[in-house]
Amino acid sequence: MKEKRTVLQFVSRYGAACFLGALLLGNAVFTKNFISINIVWNLVTQGFVTLVAALGMMLAISSGGIDLSVGSVMPVAAMITAGNLEKGIGYAVLAGLLAALLLGCFNGVIIGVFKVQPFIVTLSMYMMARGLAQLTNNSMVLNFTNEAFTRLSRYRIGNQVPVQLLIIPVFIGLLFVIVKKSTVGRYIQAAGDNREGARLSGVPIIGTTIFVYGMCSLLAGAAGIFEIARVGASDPNTLGLHVELDAIAAVVLGGTPMSGGKINLSGTVFAAFVMQLIVMTANMNNISAQYAYIVKAALILAAVIAQRRESLRR
């Protein structure tokens, strides 16, 4: 029993990292041509969007809520950025990010001030933001050629190392500061673990909520902008589709409890790459993508069951 308890704790804390290791190892043995540095670069560039979205989702889930709208906020930021590129890259990116931030703060205000369930509010935003994104260009793909902008995602250091490898630590560092070093990170986790207890201890619930959803959207917007820089076009219809699901999956698999509370930052990071690696494994072994879905689903269920078991033991 004692061992079982600690094993469960271990699984929910480091499970994602172990799984990533096992998956890499398994691939190295069984997948042809897997051992090449390019695989790592692919993993980093393709897993980037899921990771950034998952970092934001992690805050929402930790606070006791959820944000279903990230996949639709992505194209809003992307379309606004793409549409303003000729006015200057800095201007365009800021405009895109600002739009994402506003949508997120809107979510936060409705949830925090009007006390509507996050699920409902962000589901509405999921539909609304997609609509907004499509309105910007009549549901048509916006193409652009702007080398300076696409370098954001395409640049390879020494023609080898993708620029994402430098950007990812910036995002992780930002979240690390929020989660571990800042008052708001503490407030988020306290409110998610015991809302009433936190409120009675003077935690500013409304402000914290607005921060959470604002930040979550902002990160989604950033993910959207980096994504179109990689693709070289912005498609309001498909960009970001289902990203929220991969993000939620990464957070849960990473060991942050679905019911809110203590954040597992490193778990989220590893799990985001696990989600991507599953897809890549399927691709490289000519397994159809449907199986990748099923494997992902099984993983999520296993992660949630491990969480449940651990909390029941308490």
Partner 1 sequence: MTGQRLLEIRGLSKRFPGVLALDQVDFTVEKGEVHALMGENGAGKSTLIKILTGIYEKDEGTMVFDGREVDFRNTAQAQEAGISTIYQELNLIPELSVAENLFLGRQPVTRGRIAWKKIYEQAEEFLSGLGIQVDVKKRLGGCSTAVQQMVAVARAVSLEARLLIMDEPTSSLGDKEVKILFGLMDKIRAQGIGMIFVSHRLDEIFEICDRVTILRDGRLVETLPAADLTKYDLITKMIGRDAGEVMNRKAARREISGEALFEAREVTRGVRVRGIDLSVRKGEVVGLAGLLGAGRTEFVRTVFAADKMEAGRIYMEGKQVSFRSPRAAVKRGLGFLSEDRKAEGIIPHLSVRENMSLAILPQVSRAAWIRKRMEREKVEFYSGKLRVKTPDQEQSICNLSGGNQQKVILARWMATKPKLLILDEPTRGIDVGAKAEIEVLIREMAEEGIGVLLISSELEELVRNCDRIAVIRDGRKIVELEGEEISEEAVLHSLSAASENGKEVDR
Residues that bind partner 1 (CB under 8 A): 1-2, 6, 181-184, 186-187, 189-190, 193-194, 196-204, 257, 261-262, 314
Q: Which is nearer to partner 1, 199 or 230 (CB)?
A: 199
Shortest Å, Cβ 59 to partner 1: 15
Determine how many CB atoms are found less than 10 A away from the CB of residue 87: 10
Q: Which is nearer to partner 1, 1 or 29 (CB)?
A: 1
Closest C-alpha among 179, 253, 244 to residue 19:
253
Shortest Å, Cβ 203 to partner 1: 7
Instruction: Judge contact between 57 and 67, C-beta under 8 A.
Output: yes
One-letter amino acid at 153 equals S
Shortest Å, Cβ 184 to partner 1: 6
Shortest Å, Cβ 93 to partner 1: 25
Shortest Å, Cβ 103 to partner 1: 23
How many angstroms separate the Cα of 238 from the Cα of each of 48, 79, 97, 227, 235? 17, 12, 19, 12, 6
Instruction: Judge contact between 212 and 286, C-beta under 8 A.
Output: no
Q: Which is nearer to partner 1, 242 or 314 (CB)?
A: 314
Query: Alpha-carbon torsion 276, 149, 218, 128, what sign?
Result: negative
Query: Alpha-carbon torsion 163, 167, 172, 176, what sign?
Result: positive
Instruction: Judge contact between 232 and 114, C-beta under 8 A.
Output: no
Q: Which is nearer to partner 1, 183 or 237 (CB)?
A: 183
Q: Which is nearer to partner 1, 151 or 262 (CB)?
A: 262
Q: Which is nearer to partner 1, 169 or 197 (CB)?
A: 197
Q: Which is nearer to partner 1, 181 or 242 (CB)?
A: 181
Instruction: Judge contact between 219 and 54, C-beta under 8 A.
Output: no
Alpha carbon distance 42, 282 (integer Å): 14
Q: Which is nearer to partner 1, 236 or 254 (CB)?
A: 254
Tokens in use for 119?
């699920």
Give buried/exposed letters for 9-31 (b at 16+ CB in 10 A, else e).
eebbbbbbbebbeebbeebeeee
Shortest Å, Cβ 89 to partner 1: 30
Shortest Å, Cβ 305 to partner 1: 16
Instruction: Judge contact between 277 and 24, C-beta under 8 A.
Output: yes
Shortest Å, Cβ 68 to partner 1: 25
Closest C-alpha among 88, 92, 75 to residue 137:
75
